[in-house]
Structure 1
Amino acid sequence: MEYEIVLLKEKTIVGIAGRTNNQSPDMGKIIGGLWCRFYGDGIYDSIDGKINDKVLGIYTDYEGNEQDDYTVIVACEVSEVTESEQFTVGKIPAGRYAKFAVEGEEPAEVAKAWQKIWDMDDLPRSFICDFEEYQSSDMGRKKIHLYIGLRE
């Protein structure tokens, strides 16, 4: 699977979070539930200061690697955080990332891409932060960038 190495600046994000792991029988329910709440409960619309219309699926706070517990956050990048923020506030750290471009029906194409990434033994992952960046809200074919944090 082809990718490019990119250097990203730190991003401030606001959204909702859950904790799971890839072996958990309720992983799909937890992650899918966050996405349903994010749009269904109007969370996307209520986040102030969005930098753009892109939505992020963030994987962070890994206890080890992709087999261990991690935090998943569905969020938007914001310019600043207000004092009254009622949602999860966090940072995507600056650093080197492997950027993969995926296009197709979501979530099937994203799941296939993740499986290929997990099988890449030569990708020097940091397991600090990885994220999906949805390029549009088109409910048909989507363009998604996957960013995988790399060791320095």
Structure 2
Amino acid sequence: MSIVNLPSFRVLGVQTRTCNADEETLKTARLPLLWHDVYTELVPELPADAPVYGVYGGYESGQDGRYTVTAGAVHKPEKCNLDLVEVTVPSGQYLVFTGKGKMPETVIRVWLDIWDYFKREDAPHQRAFTTDFEVYRGREETAIEVSVHIAIR
């Protein structure tokens, strides 16, 4: 885990609104379909070394409320049939958690670590619940690197 100060940047992608409770069952989960669309329609059109982003924002009430997820990239490929929206990741201070391995298990494990970290009474940082984001690097399903950036106060 590390702390970084980042400038703002934009991400173009597809978007949905959900909550963690909805994501616990396949019947109500929206994120698998969102990521499926990104990895079948957008990612094949990106350069092999281009990172893929998941941007979390519009938090209603902390980690248990509704939030908006935008999955995409910093550049729009020439060939893309998806209706993309643009979001801006604001500049600021982020606490970064990382993992590498098979998806989605690895990113789930990283988020569990994040939630455990912020549950601790002695955690030196507090989540801002403004904008958080994931960065995925690599295309090999069993060796994707993910870094999750959590906005802190």
**TM-score (normalised: structure 1):** 0.82
Of residues 6, 10, 21, the one that matches 1:12 is 10
Decide which moves more: 25-34 or 11-20.
Answer: 25-34
Question: Does residue 77 of structure 1 match 2:70?
Answer: no
* AA in 2 matched with 1:150: I
Deviations 1:17-69 (A, max 9, x none): 000000124587310100111122x234568xx8x610011111101211000
On the 8 A contact 1:20/1:27 being kept in 2, the answer is: no
Partner of 1:96: 93
Unaligned runs of 5+ in 1: 80-84
Matching of residue 113 in structure 1 with residue 110 in structure 2? yes
| Greater percentage in strand | 1
Residue 33 (str. 1) matches residue 33 (str. 2): yes
Residue 136 (structure 1) aligns with: 138
Change (3 A) 1:78 1:102: same
**Does the aligned pair in 1 maintain the 2:42–2:72 contact within 8 Å?**
no
* Cα distance in 1 between the residues matched to 2:91 and 2:27: 27
Q: Residues of 2 paired with 1:19 and 1:9: CA distance?
A: 25
Task: Report the AA paired with residue 64 of structure 1.
Answer: S
Secondary structure of 1:126's counterpart equals coil
| Structure 2: stretches of 5+ with no match in the other structure | 77-81
Secondary structure of 1:29's match?
A: coil
Indicate conservation of the 8 Å contact 1:21/1:27, yes or no. no
Partner of 1:82: none
Q: What's the RMSD between the two structures over aligned residues?
A: 2.2
Counterpart secondary structure, 2:30: helix
Find the residue that maps to 1:128 and give its secondary structure. coil
Q: Structure 2 CA distance, aligned partners of 1:107 and 1:26?
A: 14
Q: Which amino acid aligns with 2:63?
A: E
Instruction: Report SS of the residue matched to 1:113.
Output: helix
